[in-house]
Amino acid sequence: MFMKKPNLILISAVLVIGISTTFVGTAQASSAKAGVSCTTAGATQISGGKRYICQAEGRQDHFQWDDGTPTSFKAKIPIVLPIPEATGPNAITFANVMSHIADIPSVAYQNVQNVITKNSSIVVPHALYVGPKTTSVTKTLEESLLSKEFRLWEGFQQSSFVNIIAYNNLDTNWAQQQFKTIFKVKGYATPQDPQEALHLVQQTCSKSSKPGQTTGPMGDCYAGNAGGIDKSKDSLMMLGVTTADPQHPWDPTQSGEVSHEYTHTVQAAQFIGTASTARSYYVHITTPCWIHEGQPNATGIAAASPTLSQYLDKRNATVSSGPLDPKFPGWTAAALKSYLYSQIPNESVSNSCYQNGPLYKMGYSVGMAATEALVAIAGPQSTMALIAREADGDTFAQAFKNVYGITWEAGSTILGRVLSAEYAQNPFVAK
């Protein structure tokens, strides 16, 4: 299973999440002003018709107010909010979901297919660069998957341009040079990290102890990384292409990697038009890790899978195993509600879920199962509307209420029950 790790230039990685109703809030007594120091990362304040966010310069420990987003800013949301309750004989709602546990995967899969079919066909400008020795990437299949993603998120803000670099372990040097060439030709801002190209490739071809960090030498390139490019409306996708098992070659319809990574660029794109110069970092400020990675898996694997059977095979393998946080409270409804509800976002703070590798990685599995339930209840677009509302200034809890019409307290309680029922039937295997 490919893993997404936050990348430094993509403004701190595409992986950060956390959902804290106590972390983000109104801030200091004095009026916010761009560039002035502040003390509480993620705090917000309205001043002079702008909404300021207390951010960490370079994602370190020096906090200052951003340039301020006009309070008139509104992210693009192509669906009516709150989303009307689904109707019909097979409809799943927050009220009846416990009677439809077995139906959640198939309904979620079909909801994704329905949106792709319904939405208009659009093309997001992009370029796919493939390493000279990465012969398993023909571009044909990858482009077909991207076209589904463009269509799935039609109506939401998407990147102005997406740069995609695909490479295997024979092309890691080429990938680093391609990164540098793209940044030079496009005139993107110089990365804060002078070794950004190397570190991004390492993150997709090495094991990691936590998001953004690697351990050991580069080996098989089994992972991906993506997000918004600093100080631009463009995005970057790094696609590591596996060569480890000849019997299971690169197949993005099974891994979902192309679709997963593209979803991260759309998450960041919701902040185009805000004061953010580092859009992926702003996603991390308010978005819990469980949905930051759960959304790209739940929607991306469904979009990539040609059939329900293939989706179920990959889905079942993904949600049922993976890293487990040593402090994970257990598989009861109350414990799973706590897992969802208590995550703290913002990699600028030590107790963030972005700073806890095992907790973060649970987003790929348990987070996918939770997000899949939301997709079954209200469709895939509801999950991106959450992030769009965050771009409008909502906390995650406020966004949840605005999108689904119920409080996050109530929603997380229901999702905890759903997950407990699912894992009682198919126990999780820690790896």
Q: Report yes or no on 228 lying in a domain.
A: yes
Residue linked to tokens 């198939």: 106
Tell me if 325 sits within 8 A of 397, measured CB to CB: no
Q: Report yes or no on 16 lying in a domain.
A: no
pTM for this prediction: 0.92
**70 preceded by a cis bond (ω within 30 of 0):** no
The pLDDT assigned to 128 comes to 98
Q: Report yes or no on 17 lying in a domain.
A: no
The pLDDT assigned to 206 comes to 87
The pLDDT assigned to 20 comes to 30
Q: Report yes or no on 185 lying in a domain.
A: yes
Cα gap 19→358, rounded to integer Å: 16
**CA separation (Å) from 331 to 4, 358, 418, 423, 425?**
25, 16, 11, 7, 11
Please choose, from the candidates 396, 362, 404, the residue with its C-alpha nearest in 3D space to the C-alpha of residue 379: 404
The pLDDT assigned to 350 comes to 86
> Which residues does residue 245 pair with via DSSP β-bridges, in sequence order?
none
Q: Would you state the structure tokens that stand for residue 287, as one six-digit string?
A: 């978005």
The pLDDT assigned to 209 comes to 54
Cα gap 282→18, rounded to integer Å: 11
Cα gap 381→118, rounded to integer Å: 12
The pLDDT assigned to 17 comes to 28
| Count of structural domains, the chain | 1
Q: Report yes or no on 61 lying in a domain.
A: no
Cα gap 394→381, rounded to integer Å: 17
Phi and psi angles of residue 387, each rounded to the nearest 5 degrees, phi first: -75, -35
Residue linked to tokens 């790896």: 431
Q: Report yes or no on 306 lying in a domain.
A: yes
Amino acid at 245: D
Question: Residue 427 contacts by C-beta under 8 Å, 6 or more apart in sequence?
Answer: 320, 331
Q: Would you state the structure tokens that stand for residue 317, as one six-digit string?
A: 């393998």
Please choose, from the candidates 221, 236, 238, the residue with its C-alpha nearest in 3D space to the C-alpha of residue 280: 236
Q: List pLDDT tens digits, range 211-226.
A: 666 656 889 998 999 9
Residue 404: give the domain boundaries. Answer: 97-430
Tell me if 86 sits within 8 A of 378, measured CB to CB: yes
Question: Which of helix, strand or coil describes residue 232?
Answer: coil
Question: Residue 255 contacts by C-beta under 8 Å, 6 or more apart in sequence?
Answer: 1, 2, 304, 314
The pLDDT assigned to 27 comes to 42
The pLDDT assigned to 3 comes to 37
Residue 51 is classified by DSSP as: E
The pLDDT assigned to 62 comes to 83
Q: Report yes or no on 260 lying in a domain.
A: yes
> What is the residue-level pLDDT of the chain in tens, covering all 431 positions?
333 333 333 433 333 222 233 334 444 445 799 999 998 888 999 999 999 999 986 666 689 999 999 999 999 999 999 999 999 988 999 999 999 999 999 999 999 999 999 999 999 999 999 999 999 999 999 999 999 999 999 999 999 999 999 999 999 999 999 999 999 999 999 998 899 999 999 999 987 655 666 656 889 998 999 999 999 999 999 999 999 877 678 999 988 999 999 999 999 999 999 999 999 999 999 999 999 999 999 999 999 999 999 999 999 999 999 999 999 999 999 999 999 999 999 888 889 999 999 999 999 999 999 999 999 999 999 999 999 999 999 999 999 999 999 999 999 999 999 999 999 999 999 99
